[in-house]
Amino acid sequence: MKGRLWLLGLVLAGVVACATEGNAPSPPGQPALYPPAVFAHRVSTADLTVYWNCVQPEPGAVQVDGVVQNTGGRSVEYAQVEIVSVDARERTIASVRSAVRDLILQTNQISPFQLGLRIVGAEARIDLYYEYRARPHFGLGGFLGSPERFRARDVCSDTQHRVPKPQ
């Protein structure tokens, strides 16, 4: 009889564990919604899509909150983002750079970033640079090579790099 109760207890524990697993919260830092529904701006390359919003948390500051998503099918490593304030003569006023949270991004994986920058009033625009290394399609390993670097101009514009809204 004790053996049957013990077995019944194990079965019940397994059922409870399986039932609660489906209600587990999503991993920290992952947006609750698909990125186009959450972010106003985006740019893409063959390997990576960057989504972001620009906010002004206080006078004299701009903050860019976003995510990078591996959309290309190759493993992406060492992704970094940088925002740069530029004056009317194309001179850099200030910049800030950061790696995204996850070192390696597998296909469709999303990793968040947040960058804040002080502005002085001479800025003509804010540009976003992003870079990463992608593994080759062939083989399991492989040489990563030098990072690929891209720029999106005027990323806090109300009209540039906008995510199309569903109709």
What are the tens digits of pLDDT across the range 138-147? Answer: 655 555 668 9
CA–CA dist 71, 48 (Å, integer): 5
pLDDT in tens, 76-97: 999 999 999 999 999 999 999 9
- Mean predicted confidence (pLDDT) in 17-40: 54
Q: What is the pLDDT of residue 24?
A: 36
Q: What is the pLDDT of residue 137?
A: 64
Q: Which fold has domain 31-152?
A: Immunoglobulin-like (2.60.40)
Q: What is the mean pLDDT of the chain?
A: 81
Q: What is the pLDDT of residue 35?
A: 78
- Mean predicted confidence (pLDDT) in 46-71: 95
Whole-prediction pTM: 0.75
DSSP-assigned letter for residue 94: E
* Residues 111 and 52: beta-carbon distance below 8 Å: no
Supply the DSSP string of 44-72, one letter for each residue. Answer: E-SSEEEEEEEE-SSTTEEEEEEEEEE-S
For the chain, which residues make up each domain, given as ranges? 31-152
Six-digit token pair at 39?
Answer: 């972010």
pLDDT in tens, 115-135: 999 998 899 999 999 999 998
